[in-house]
Amino acid sequence: MVNDPFINTGYPLPALGAPLILRAMAQPDDLFSAAERTAPAERAVTVARAAPASSRPSEDYSAKDIEVLEGLEPVRRRPAMYIGGSDEAALHHLFAEALDNAMDEAVAGHASRIEVELATDGTVTVRDNGRGIPVDRHPKFKDRSALEVILTTLHAGGKFSDKVYHTAGGLHGVGISVVNALSDRLAVEVARDRRLWRQTYARGRPTGAIEDRGPVNNRRGTTVAFHPDPEIFGDGTRFRARRLHRMARAKAYLFRGVEIRWSCDPALITAGDDTPARATLHFPGGLADYMTSAIAGRACATPLPFAGRARFPGEAGAIEWAVAWPLSGETFLNSYCNTVPTPLGGTHEAGLRAALTRALKGFGDLIGNKRAKDISGDDAIGGACAVISVFLRDPQFQGQTKEKLVTPGANRLVEATMKDHFDHWLSADRAAAEAVLALAIERADERRRRRRDSEVARQSATRRLRLPGKLADCVRADAKGTEIFLVEGDSAGGSAKQARDRDTQAILPLRGKILNVASASAEKLRANQELTDLTLALGCGTGARHDVSKLRYERVIIMTDADVDGAHIAALLMTFFQREMPKLIDAGHLYLAAPPLYRLSQGGKTVYARDDAHRDALLAKEFKAKGKGKVEISRFKGLGEMPARQLKTTTMDPATRTLLRVEIAPEARADTAARVEDLMGRRPERRFAFIQENAKFVVDLDV
């Protein structure tokens, strides 16, 4: 996957909803006093972890051995159940939980600003200008404020129904209480109803009652500052400024219109790190802006990404997406639900795949491309860079870390909504639609080729070495000094077998013109016996499985008749090697034999001519003398008509033959690939254009 700004952060994205401003600025009023920053309050209660007196458990087992963990003690005993562990990734999950709470306020339309600050001592502050956590007495726990209940009680919060939040990343009521439990100090300030309230905690326990700090004007919302507990995470585990910045920036991309103001102490930015100490991030285009940034400088199949947003029917939620098809480089698929990243995918990703697949198949059927019916979901999305963000009421995730969305019906909502928009996008730009379809079909062909190669590999493994029956192999086992002749037809193959050096020369007869791999489907390639035999004989695989180091011969020699048909067969074979075994050409293993077309003899003198021009030159040069009789000129009908002795002398004997090595200069590879596609590819109009442009240069037409 590509190393991009908001993927691989451990957390990120929102979209669709009221405009949001995220900030990350230091404030003059510090939530922690000097004493609080130095050490946790002495009134904090620490969970003891005494070592057992004996390594053997007691044989006594009674009711007194049954422990009941209360409050936040389960979190401190088993942090992995809540944040996935106690390593660096789990540490950053604490920040994600605090940031998600602020994001939920923004997505609900109650906050327009979020500020994030990372201090030198590792304290993180998240501040929003939302409604503020309620501070009045809780009706069930009359001796405590709602703020204290939320921070000290698992499964306490306002997101279990849609009365307060229509959509939210927090679902279980454990996020901020887990942050509190795993912090050695935490301070929270709430500006609500023009009054400021403050309370501090240590390892999940309040260090004092909630304080009324008096009236406050022009301020509202919640501020949470926390310092992770080294007893849980160790002294060496610290927040990374780069990671926090990327997580905050991801939220800005997810929720369009967000402004993020980020700040951290410059001393926390390591050498070579481009993370800014202060930054203002604003992406009014949402995911479309992100995609433009992620694929900047890369050539794509379409001028613009397929991007958009829409609401699901009724009050089911909303979706935003951006998909691009780069022609090279790494790809990625990242999904989010209610701004929470889902790295393991889920039902929303399944809907995206289904929508793209169905729309591409429908477009292929519309334009009469029968090969489109074989496209799978992986073919449609596998070559793309894609980001999808959905907002759902009461989503269901797999586990507390929410790595996978398992909401039933989300796939149908996403598929129906996105397919309709993708259908319109395809029909609006025919050229872009055909380019995307061609990429999907190419991936489908490659998928079938890999499957074919794996089947060949399995067969080879079970049969030790499976070679075509018509291959006349050489005796020498080492590839050095050996060569294989690819000859046209059984007749030529018979002559070549008689003319060869059995120790170093192998012969593989091919039946007529092979398949044109530049225009054939993967299914036809797989079914073609001649190409299968050739691949098995060479032993180095094709496509993605091509490994030139496994080539069984030092030289691969194409030996066809010296006429138009022979040249066509040679062109088809070179196209096969250029498409399926390019490294074989790069390594200098591919050659063309130069068999003669004419035999010229006079008396005891015999010479061979490769073409008409060479024949005329030899007549003028070699047979000048008069009175030695008529020069007999015979044209070979094919290699099969040539006696084995003559074939050996003219074409196969290393001492007397001529070989042409096939090469593609590095600077000419792109032009060569384009020319092969024009002349051998699936679009006949390109061949027609080439003929029109070059017909005037033809001097002698051989048909």
CB 656 within 8 A of CB 606: no
Paired strand residues for 185: 227
CA 633 to centroid of chain Cα atoms: 62
Please identify which of the residues 4, 115, 259, 488 carries the catalytic annotation.
488
The closest of 32, 28, 49, 47 to 185, measured between CA atoms, is: 32
Active site (annotated) includes residue 565: yes
Tokens 């604003």 appear where? 282
Residues 6+ apart with CB under 8 A from 409: 347
Q: For the range 304-312, what are the long-range contacts, defined as Cβ-Cβ under 8 Å and sequence gap of 24 or more? A: 306/422, 306/425, 308/421, 309/15, 309/16, 309/256, 310/417, 310/421, 311/16, 312/413, 312/417
Strands ordered across the beta sheet of 483-488: 505-510, 483-488, 555-559, 590-593, 659-661
Max intra-chain CA distance, the chain:
131
- The structure tokens 């905690």 sit at 201
Among residues 95, 11, 101, 4, the alpha carbon closest in space to that of 341 is found at: 11
Expressed in percent and rounded to 5, the helix, strand and coil fractions of the chain are: 40, 20, 45
Catalytic residue (one of 231, 563, 622, 678): 563
Q: Is 561 a catalytic residue?
A: yes
Query: What tokens were used for 193?
Result: 């109803």
Residue position matching structure tokens 């029109």: 692
Chain centre to alpha carbon of residue 126: 33
Tell me, yes or no, if 273 is annotated catalytic: no
- The single residue of 394, 442, 554, 565 carrying the catalytic annotation is 565
Residues comprising the chain, all counted: 703
CA trace torsion 39, 43, 49, 51 (10° rounding):
90
Is 483 known to be catalytic? Answer: no
Q: Report the 10 Å Cβ neighbour count for 149.
A: 18
How far is it, in rounded angstroms, from Cα 468 to Cα 466? 7
Buried b (16+ CB within 10 A) or exposed e, 295-312: beeeebbbeebbbbbeeb
- The alpha carbon of 175 is separated from its chain's Cα centroid by a whole number of angstroms, namely 31
Tell me which residues are annotated as active site: 488, 561, 563, 565
